[in-house]
Each structure stands twice: as structure tokens, then as C-alpha cells.
Amino acid sequence: MSRFIVRFLKNIVGDRGQLFEACQHTTDVDAHDEAEALRLAKQQFCALRAVGDWTLHADRVEVKSADFPS
């Protein structure tokens, strides 16, 4: 299994009208691949926020490998 860092990001308009990305949640997930990591992270995020659809709180998801080469 590999470790992945999954970030849920939301586009926000600031008080001066500038668009920026805010991180809504970050989690570490152990999974066989990125697809499984994404699925598990979405399940965790929905449970944490008590929603059935993660897109209510985030616009996109970023998945990165956290494994370091040996």
C-alpha cells in the first residue's frame, strides 16, 4: 500500500474581488492507487462534514503521493 495526501479545495472570491483557492480539508490515506485514495478520502470528507456530496464544500480534489523514494 502507498500513502497519499488528499486536499479538498474551494474557489473563493476575496473582499477585493480576487479569486483564490482555499483548502477545506487535508487528509492522509493509505491506498493501493490514486483512484482508491480519492474514493476513500471522499468518503471520509463526506462523513466529517455530514453531507452526501463532497462538492457542497469543495470545488476540486488534489491527490499526491506521500511516499518517498528509497
pTM value is 0.86
Residue 70 pLDDT more than 70? no
| Mean local confidence (pLDDT), 11-28 | 93
Which of 11-49 are b and which e, b meaning 16 or more Cβ less than 10 Å from the residue's Cβ?
A: eeeeeeeeeeeeebbeeebebeeeeebbebbbeebeeeb
List helix spans (H) across 1-70: 34-49
Q: Is 52 helix (H, G, I), strand (E, B) or coil?
A: coil
Residue 68 pLDDT more than 80? no
What's the confidence (pLDDT) of residue 30? 95
What's the confidence (pLDDT) of residue 1? 87
What's the confidence (pLDDT) of residue 14? 85
pLDDT tens figures, 37-52: 999 999 999 999 999 9
CA–CA separation, 57 and 70 (whole Å): 36
